[in-house]
Amino acid sequence: MRASIRLRLSLGLTLVIVVIWALVVTITYYGAKREVRALFDTQLEQSARVAARTLLGVPSADQTRDTVAPNDSSEKQEVRDQYQKYLAVQIWNEDGELVLHSKNAPLLPLADTTVGFTDAFFNGEAWRTYSFVDDSHGLTIRAGEPYRPRNYLTQHVIVQTLYPIVLGLPVITVLIWIAVGRGLTPLRRLTSQVHERDPENLIRIHAPYAPDEVRPLVEELNILLERLEQKIDKERRFIGDAAHELRTPLAGLRAHAEVALGARNTRERTRAIKYCQRR
């Protein structure tokens, strides 16, 4: 299947841009996932400590820092509430008994560790948990939240990244098509110049507008025209020489034919005809 240079270049450049964008989106996705993970882990740790102190009835400076400032917008407050409503907290005593827990916390331990972050599954859903030990009360606090809000935020970032790319791709494709078309203008001009030449015009093609990629083709065409001109000149010289060589015998034949026509007797006529036969 033959395709035009314009179509090949346009598709090739568009494919390169799509591949680059795919790499950018992939890098953005994993970068956003990493940042969201770090952000939510930090928030989970702080929320776990504040929630534990709240459940135990112990005032904490962390609780003050966790509250929304008066100048926070309602939109920020809504986002904060949306993510914090998934938080589940458990408080276990040294005997492994569940002392206190939030409403949405399961009755089973959120994690099998006593310190740090870990992943768990509850009701077929992935959770991120954080555990720490309150030495002053001899309690183990475990807090967790489903991965759902994290995944939602990561997907939201990717969608916001893809949105201008998807909208801009058709525009970029059209711009590439126009740019490639203009870039091929010298080639079309050269084609028109060769098409309009007279078949007998073997003068070298003069194309100062030709780009570097087309100049070798122009040079080869000029070499071909020069060879054709040399060959035609040789054929013309050969024909001229042949005509010159034929001119003298033909003149002799013509003279003897005239003698035969003007012969006064049969003997002269026969002699002239035999001479023409020998020639």
Integer Cα distance of 93 and 96 in angstroms: 5
Q: Which residue stretches of the chain have pLDDT < 70? A: 1-3, 55-85, 241-265, 267-269, 271-279
Q: Both tokens of residue 175?
A: 């711009």
Rounded Cα–Cα distance for residues 96 and 140 (Å): 9
pLDDT (0 to 100) of residue 174: 92
- Cα distances from 124 to residues 28, 86, 104, 127, in angstroms, run 28, 16, 15, 10
Distance CA 254, CA 243 (A): 16
Long-range contacts of 34-41 (CB under 8 A, 24+ apart): 36/150, 36/153, 36/154, 36/157, 37/150, 40/83, 40/128, 40/145, 40/149, 40/150, 41/117, 41/128, 41/130
Sheet of 139-146: strands edge to edge?
Answer: 98-101, 88-92, 139-146, 125-134, 116-122
SS3 185: helix
Q: CA 219 to CA 245: how far, in whole Å?
A: 39
Q: How many CB atoms lie within 10 A of CB 210?
A: 19
Of the candidate CATH numbers 3.30.450.20, 3.40.120.10, 3.30.750.24, 3.90.1150.10, the domain formed by 5-170 belongs to: 3.30.450.20
pLDDT of residue 93: 87
In this structure, the chain runs to a length of 279
Q: What tokens were used for 268?
A: 């002269």
pLDDT value of residue 60: 43
